[in-house]
Structure 1
Amino acid sequence: MSQARTNARKAAVQALYQWQMTGQNLSLIERQFGEEDWLKDVQKSYFKELFHGVPEHLDTIDQALAEFVDREVDLIDPVERAILRIGTYELLFRLNMPYKVVLNESINLAKCFGADGSHKYVNGILDKIARQKRVVEMQAQQQAAQ
């Protein structure tokens, strides 16, 4: 994965966190990120896809999360919630991206932004979603490994 795409995820976590906490208009937050140079070295098209795609598909994403989390989605720590929503978005809507990449990137985001041990929580939830939503991909990988 490219560093610019990883940076896009990092910026998207921060922007989604801000959106979750303030309820501000997405365009306003996006403009603020651009003005403050937070999108330097970022794959801007991917940042924009994540930042707008998560709110656009929020009900579907939160339904997928709700099956596997131990509390209401809105009660999850806001940083972890932003990371889980991005990872779930990628698992559901970016089928061309291998699930292992999604899990690895999400774990790294949790290590970067989350509380101690939050990467284990994020990994556990997203792994369960991947097992449910990416069955064909997982089976193909298992067959290839045999």
Structure 2
Amino acid sequence: MTTPADPALTFAQKALDSQPFSRLLGARVTAFGDGRATLELDIREDLHQQNGYLHGGVVSYAADNALTFAAGTALGPAVLTAGFSIQYIRPATGRTLVARAEVVHAGRRQAVVRCDLLTVTEDGTETLSAVAQGTVLPARTP
């Protein structure tokens, strides 16, 4: 894994910042390397659904990006999600959403990655809200 001053983490954050939607959400990469990636974002009221929980689409976004960033450590920087599934375990509430992804298997043509999505409260308590698994492929260059 890397530290905040690590060039790999800086590269990963620049890649995330190049995505307008990620900038809109205020997402940040907090760990990147060795088949793993962690993405975080603050849970804000404007990201809630009608019942006051973090919208499932935001949770799904975090899973998708964490999966691809983790896979990028194994396949290289140009990757695309081929598909993923997500299982919501409990409503996401708290201060921060954390998506921790890890490559389960990587070959030349694809990586299989799993991701735990946790919420963190003000006192630092983590609660598992969802789990995801996906397949990531190297992107074809034109």
TM-score range, shorter chain: 0.3 to 0.5
Task: Point out the structure with the larger helix share.
Answer: 1
**What TM-score results when the alignment is normalised by the length of structure 1?**
0.32
